Amino acid sequence: MTAWMTWWYHDADGRRVFQHYRKTRTPTSDDPRCKEYGYRLPVVEVIGGQRVLVDWDYRKPLTADRLVFRLPMVLAHRDQCLVLTEGERCAVAALKLGVLATTHHGGAGKFTQAMAESLARHRGRIVLVADNDPAGAYDVVRRFDLLRAVGLPAKRLRVREVTPTHPGADLRDHLEAGYRLSDLRAADVDELREVAATVTGSLDEGSWPDGLTPEERRQIATWRPVGHSWPARGRTPARNAGVLR
């Protein structure tokens, strides 16, 4: 038995571009994998004057690494506190609480400079939630560094860890355990950077995340921010009542 989860990604104008999907199935002796992630594009034809979805093209589009989840919603609410997670299921869990949330696709380390640039004009606080494992530390530090590199001041970035302590615990686990967003724990970026360093050695030339510039590869290899200072751009927003400080 196979179960599907799908998430649409849109461009800045609200057009549907692709779906990121997750398939889960019962492992077999021929295929021990129980989870599979991938991309698909809609194949549309005009039938009777109507645009009709007739098939799927299973590939990753060239523009995928520019787009974050629910981009039009994020762009329309630049002054709100934004929760930035690792993975769609966590973002959806936050959205169900009425909180503005987004994520990147593809797993740890796949947040790109282009995605950071799409958030560069966000005026509210951005809360970066880390999964509870070395890959989660690697991912959240990468998000933090790239957002700083596009001009977002550190005072508007909040790095947070989930309360559950089992390996791989994420925001969805945190909320399902009965904790609130306000129960997320403040994290030390430098400490997370040390944890992240334990996984960067596995990023050889054949396993770099998609869409990296040479400077981004250097950044991952050394785990130093891009450059040594960033311009403080944007104004400090009003606090969102009931949302993370």
pLDDT tens digit sequence for 19-57: 999 998 887 777 666 788 999 999 999 999 988 888 999
The strand pair at 2-10 and 16-25 is best described as antiparallel
Residue reference for tokens 């990023």: 203
Prediction pTM value: 0.80
What order do you get walking across the sheet with 126-130 strand by strand?
A: 101-103, 82-85, 126-130, 157-161, 185-186
| CATH number of 64-222, picked from 3.40.190.10, 3.30.360.10, 3.40.1360.10, 3.40.50.300 | 3.40.1360.10
pLDDT digits (tens, 9 = 90+) for 69-79: 999 999 999 99
101 φ, ψ to 5°? -150, 155
Residue of 169, 202, 192, 194 whose CA lies nearest to 93: 169
The residue extents of the domains of the chain are 2-57, 64-222
Q: Are 244 and 101 in contact (CB under 8 A)?
A: no
Mean pLDDT of residues grouped by 10 in the chain (245 residues)? Answer: 90 96 82 83 92 92 96 98 98 98 96 98 98 95 97 97 96 98 96 88 44 50 34 29 45
